[in-house]
A and B are shown apart, each in its own frame.
Chain A
């Protein structure tokens, strides 16, 4: 596997140096830019596999920058922000950032996020990546916002693990998914590594999907695993 290129856009010199070193140590090829013009120049020179973008750059707003990049490129973007509020995160993700990291972050965290985004990035199935919204039984799942809405339009909170589980289910509707497979999938997730058994996660998800007395669409297949019974339509 050839080394992947990361473009780091960060205006603070020391932080830039530290991050560049960190990424190089982890086997990435790193190019860095201190401002928006430099970033555009670097993009001209050759498309990176991923951009790590500080939201607060002098003179420009990272959010506008992200919007501009997205106009003609699908390159994965990870936001680095000094604000770290939930609203910022949602806004960043909506604008097409693939992930959002608040300062300060640990080395492990940054590398893990980059790896995760790269994994589901261009390497992943193109259909998978475009699958931003799906619907079933009137329920609405937005993968960009990582949000589930009930048939009446209400936001239904899910933990990270629950959302990933739901994502797995809606990706393979009407198919029995073995417990072992689900456990494996939930283990590969980086954050939210709760030790809860998959059965607890499923029962919680079921309870949340049981609004208005309707039957939850997750069926237990005795001895094998679970099946998502509802028809899923891509939005």
Chain B
């Protein structure tokens, strides 16, 4: 467990050490491979034969003719040059393997002091070498295997790069694993306040653990704060009703002039409505009422009929029947809020119900003044009221549309409002097909 709670710094250090160690090991392996710069068996055999034959032949040739014979022995891939004396290149250590291979094939060459060395790359990077003839003169030779050697260098580059690539991938994996708890935390941060607190498991490096711990505590604090506010508001809504009931009964009993009585009744009614919308809005949060089969067309037309009966300009356009699976109380309230809003601000209402391929569309239109474009996003927020010049033009606590939004969201639908190009406001509820 101790190892799991190492700090980020320690971890990155460990990662670096691991990378360096791996690279060291890998490089050593690669150089060892280069040391074993070896020929295929038949290549070694051919080369050995070539050298033995050339040596014997030149041994028997008179020194004056040796250069000619040497050049005659040369082929495209193997050249000989005879010299009485000359600088002998030091043997390359890296070609020891090749040398022992050749000597294994032709032990006679041991006496010839066979030396092999690699030519530098600008000169072709080929293998060259020298041996002594029996009279002590030197025979130089050189292979032309540029192509073969080139593949060899390409292979070397590849073998040098490959471990680095592997290391990069391992590094990415390790860093990601280290940062994963941070990602979890990040996702959880976006969810704060949208529901019950979801504690993030404390994992990862010490710093991240501390961070997650602090985050979880903060999450709980926020949740407690929100729910205590909600409870306080709910208590207000609830506790005010009893004094309001007393007030209503006292008012009914008081012998006031009818006009005062009517106005005070209205005040009490308004207060009651405020409390009601507050209680509905608060109870809507986290509500787990099951969905039921409901005739949405009848629901909508019943609400419109009721508005008509009150003498309002209300119309329903849509089928006689359309059954869906929804939470009836919440959806009825949503439709009712939209109809009330349209009638109150627009003076009329036209509700259109349409069944479409991808879902169900409920459109509530009015011919009123609409809402200023820049205010549109605001009105879906709770407790937002668009106060015009006459401040009492708006009613309620600004919970009507948020209640609609919550109800539609509970059905996994979407709710939007927009100004109609021909004037007036349009509220649109889209319900997913699954509810149909």
Contacts and interface: CB of A to CB of B under 8 A. Distances in A.
Contacts of A104: 241, 244-249, 268, 272
Contact of B242 (A15, A106, A208, A211): A15
Interface stretch (B158-166, B186-194, B327-335): B327-335
Contacts of A204: 305
A136 B171 CA distance: 74
B89 interface: no
A85 B279 contact: yes
Contact of A85 (B239, B252, B283): B283
Q: How large is the interface on B (under 10, 10 to 19, 20 to 34, 35 or more residues)?
A: 35 or more
A220 interface: no
Contact of B320 (A56, A83, A152, A207): A207
Contact of B249 (A15, A87, A212): A15
A82 B280 contact: no
Contacts, number: 108
A105 B272 CA distance: 10
Max count, chain B CB within 10 A of own CB: residue among A14, A18, A157, A211: A157
A103 B293 contact: no
Interface in A94-126: 102-108
B333 A22 contact: no
Interface stretch (B11-19, B129-137, B205-213, B294-302): B294-302
A207 B304 CA distance: 14
- Which of A104, A108, A207, A208 gathers most chain B CB within 10 Å? A104
Nearest to A158: B302
B242 A103 contact: yes
Q: Give the interface centre of A85, A103, A152, A195 by most chain B CB atoms within 10 Å.
A: A103
Interface in A53-91: 56, 82-87, 90
Contact of A82 (B238, B265, B292, B329): B238
Contacts of A84: 241, 276, 279
A160 B241 CA distance: 25
Interface of A: 12, 14-15, 18-19, 21-22, 56, 82-87, 90, 102-108, 150, 152-159, 162, 194-196, 204, 207-208, 210-212
Q: Which 4 A-B pairs have the closest CB atoms?
A: A104-B245, A104-B248, A103-B241, A103-B245
